[in-house]
Chains A and B, each alone.
Chain A
Amino acid sequence: MTTDAQVTPAPADAAQRGRLRAGLDRAVQGRALPIATVSLAIVLLWYALAVWLNADLQINRFERADQSWTFGELVLATWAQDRPMLPAPHQIVAELNKTVFQTGITSVRSLVYHSWVTLSSTLAGFAIGTLLGILLAVGIVHARALEKSLLPWIISSQTVPILAIAPMIVVVLGAIGLNGLIPKAVISMYLCFFPVAIGMVKGLRAPDPLQMDLMRTYSASRWQTFWMLRWPSSLPFLFASLKVAIAISLVGAIVAELPTGAQAGLGARMLAGSYYGQTIQIWSALVAASVLAASLVGVVALGERWAHRRMGAQP
């Protein structure tokens, strides 16, 4: 009897179980579940690390205050220090809430204000760098001499550590009266023209020989071949490069704020935090920077999807 019932479940039950199964499959195959699992693991690990890293200091403090403590008290205390070695996630969230939502965006204590300062030089550097990268690639693809003379320099430019060259760029540009946004944008540009140039050289050469021959049979001009064949072929490569470029452009802007004693910007915020041991401030600036980077890459990805659809790509 019982075995029979187990072997043949009621049809409605089976259908429901099927639906549940399908829903679960979707969740597993989709991105939601894996991302949630990993995020949860990271948060748990983070809390554990916070206890471990902050415990010594906390035990010291308890001892100095001649206070007896239990393990539970220790754990809670390590998650609530003013200047912890590693702040707990909820401390960072509280700081972010305070500096993003509770502070006017024009205040120097507002993280939105600092983000905007960094974002403006990121975008300026990204725009100039992208343009420079595309122009270099166009030159390289069309003139052998430029490939031989420019490409080695383009590659070696990226072997110089940006931390070493950034202060010099700032000093030199400062000497000719350029301050504020421009030196930072120049450093962003210095980093982000590279992936664009390399990606576009590959992209502009992407048309296959048949597609190029076709243009030749029509005696198309170089200009026509460029606009009707090379440029559209290169767009997938351009967008892949742009995603890298915008992320490192942000890194460039932040790095540029470190050696210059900048008063504003996410880099300045991190630097100030490290001067005064304000670890929570550093971490919240870090979170703001990564949210900013993710959104910028997301915007580029949206542009990519738009271009993809306009070019009739296979969905």
Chain B
Amino acid sequence: MTPTAAPEAAPDAAASEAVPAPSAARASAAAGGGPVVRTQKLSLTFQTADGPVYALSGIDLTVEEGDFVSLIGPSGCGKTTLLRVIADLEQPTDGDIQVNGVTPHQARLERAYGYVFQAAALYPWRTIERNVTLPLEIMGVPQAERRARAAAYLEMVNLAGFARKYPWQLSGGMQQRASIARALCFDPDLLLMDEPFGALDEIVRDHLNEQLLNLWNTTGKTVVFVTHSISEAVFLSNKIVVMSPRPGRIADVIETDFPPDRDLDFRETQAFIDVAHRVRMGLRQGIADDD
């Protein structure tokens, strides 16, 4: 890891050049109108050999531009499935969903989002730099610009010196940061993250949470973040969606108004503890319903 770099120091001049200034992004969020993601009575049922599995049932969710929305719930509550439906990796069986005002399929074709998976999913035969530029290659960006953008975003995730390394030469946390740089480098307005830090130890996780919050503050991107960690959800989000399993549904939606420049110590404050308590209650309710 890179313990020396303070999270505030992450983006330098090069990075902010490639990234829209936060104020501008916020302004466009206000001007842009409609929500980034809107679902109405969204349901998804998997037909399996053991009968139907109700992964999602009647999901009504709205994600506004510039939101940081966490989907939290126990395993099997459909939070990952919901994220995959937004990304057009799964097809809903019922209900409506729009991403940027169009179907998820159309949004995917327009490359509206960057997706960060549970595992870094770096291609082992590519250097870190070429992993980051993979989406740019696919989108036909010229090489000089690809390299400039890779440099900027690797700098942003504190991996500046690792461009020429191969994935196996990096720790798990560094690999995941590289995959975040990969998701950001084509500058999508929407970032979909599926338990990106789930496989990392808590110290690394805390550090990356701070970096991610800082990244969200500087870029003004819309983030939908799947997690099963209460403190992660409360610390990062301005909107927490508590889900419960069988069938996967929304149990509670909590909006918070925490200061944007909060650091890890904020988790000791009463405001944080109150919200965390409400999330825990929501989760417990979901489990109780199940039994």
Contact = CB atoms under 8 A, between A and B. Distances in A.
Interface string A205-223: 0001011011111111000
A218 B138 contact: yes
B87 A312 contact: no
B125 A311 contact: yes
B109 A214 contact: no
Contact of A214 (B113, B115, B125, B137): B115
A224 B138 contact: yes
Contact of A218 (B89, B111, B117, B124): B111
A211 B139 CA distance: 17
A204 B45 CA distance: 30
B135 A218 contact: yes
Contacts of B115: 213-214, 217
Contacts of A232: 123, 125
Given A232-B125, A312-B127, A219 B109 contact: yes
B121 A217 contact: no
Contact of B89 (A217, A224, A314): A217
B46 to A, nearest CB: 15
A155 interface: no
Contact of B168 (A210, A214, A220, A314): A314
* A interface SS class: helix
A79 B152 CA distance: 76
B117 A214 contact: yes
A226 to B, nearest CB: 12
A228 interface: yes
B87 A220 contact: no
Contacts of A208: 121
A219 B87 CA distance: 11
B25 interface: no
Q: Which of A210, A213, A214, A228 has the most CB of B within 10 A?
A: A214
A1 interface: no
Interface residues of B, number: 25
A213 B134 contact: no
Interface in A135-183: none
B121 A210 contact: yes
B89 A216 contact: yes
A210 B118 CA distance: 9
A228 B124 CA distance: 12
B272 interface: no
Q: Which of A210, A215, A312, A313 has the most CB of B within 10 A?
A: A312
B138 A312 contact: no
B166 interface: yes
B117 A210 contact: yes
A219 B111 contact: yes
A229 interface: yes
B136 to A, nearest CB: 9
A219 B111 CA distance: 7
B139 A218 contact: yes
A311 B166 CA distance: 9
A219 B108 contact: yes
A253 B164 CA distance: 45
A215 B111 CA distance: 11
B123 A211 contact: yes
B119 interface: yes
Contacts of B139: 218
Interface of A: 208, 210-211, 213-220, 224, 228-229, 232, 311-314
Given A210-B119, A314-B166, 19 more contacts: A208-B121, A210-B121, A211-B123, A213-B115, A213-B121, A214-B121, A214-B134, A216-B108, A217-B89, A217-B113, A218-B134, A218-B139, A219-B109, A219-B138, A228-B138, A229-B123, A312-B124, A313-B125, A314-B168
